[in-house]
Structure 1
């Protein structure tokens, strides 16, 4: 099992244990691959949910650029909803898991089709 497969298994575990979701493994794999080399970097592989600048980056680079969503207050509300589901007490919020939940939240699975 390669490093990426190990990470995907860890993300799936987080989705089950911390978020109460049964992950679509095909979609999770595609979202993880879409994150690129960031998943291997300790700092870049997680989302700092308490930093506004980080949330803006997620909104602009992922929701607007990658998923093609128009800027609106719904985007930040969606991010906050996903972070609440992940649990504010969870210090490590993996980027791939957050992105996966955002794809589900905004029903943009087709982007990864």
Structure 2
């Protein structure tokens, strides 16, 4: 049973790109199968390091300082502070959006007659 992550992402980014969400879901893969690993705890320093090193640096290819990347993670966390549980897909989407890197996950092609 696959979960639809789009509604959660759209709480923070109403015009969220469904193809980019699907790409992030593919990137997260098996980690989304268990509830605990599908959530992110930004109060856990190891988790912040994991997001910074694994997602921001490796996947998005960012070379900003650790302090700047951590600041961005915390800014997105602040945006999501109303949610007691922070979904990994949503956090990753908002970080990719923040850094202008959604295209890594597959932007949609314009529908016929719209582009």
RMSD: 1.5
The answer for the alignment partner of 1:83 in structure 2 is: 77
Instruction: Return the alpha-carbon distance in structure 2 between the equivalents of residues 44 and 108 of structure 1.
Output: 23
Q: Measure how far apart 1:33 and its partner are.
A: 1.1
Q: Measure how far apart 1:112 and its partner are.
A: 2.0
The answer for the alignment partner of 1:25 in structure 2 is: 18
**TM-score normalised per structure 2:** 0.82
**1:101–1:20 CA distance, 2 compared to 1 (3 A):** closer
Q: Of 38, 47, 66, which residue of structure 2 is paired with 1:54?
A: 47
Asked whether the equivalents of residues 56 and 62 of structure 2 are also in contact (C-alpha less than 8 Å), the reply is yes
Question: Which is higher, the Rg of structure 1 or of structure 2?
Answer: 2
Instruction: Return the alpha-carbon distance in structure 1 between the equivalents of residues 38 and 24 of structure 2.
Output: 13
Q: Which has the higher helix share?
A: 1
**1:48–1:81 CA distance, 2 compared to 1 (3 A):** same
Asked whether the equivalents of residues 15 and 23 of structure 1 are also in contact (C-alpha less than 8 Å), the reply is yes
The answer for the alignment partner of 1:102 in structure 2 is: 95
Q: Measure how far apart 1:24 and its partner are.
A: 0.8
Aligned residues: 105
Q: Deviations over 1:21-56 (max 9, x none)?
A: 321111111111110111111111000121111101
Residue ranges of structure 2 left out of the alignment (5+ in a row): 107-115
Asked whether the equivalents of residues 40 and 87 of structure 2 are also in contact (C-alpha less than 8 Å), the reply is yes
Could you list the runs of 4 or more consecutive aligned residues of structure 1 that deviate by over 4 angstroms after TM superposition?
none
Larger relative contact order (CA 8 Å, sep ≥ 6): 2
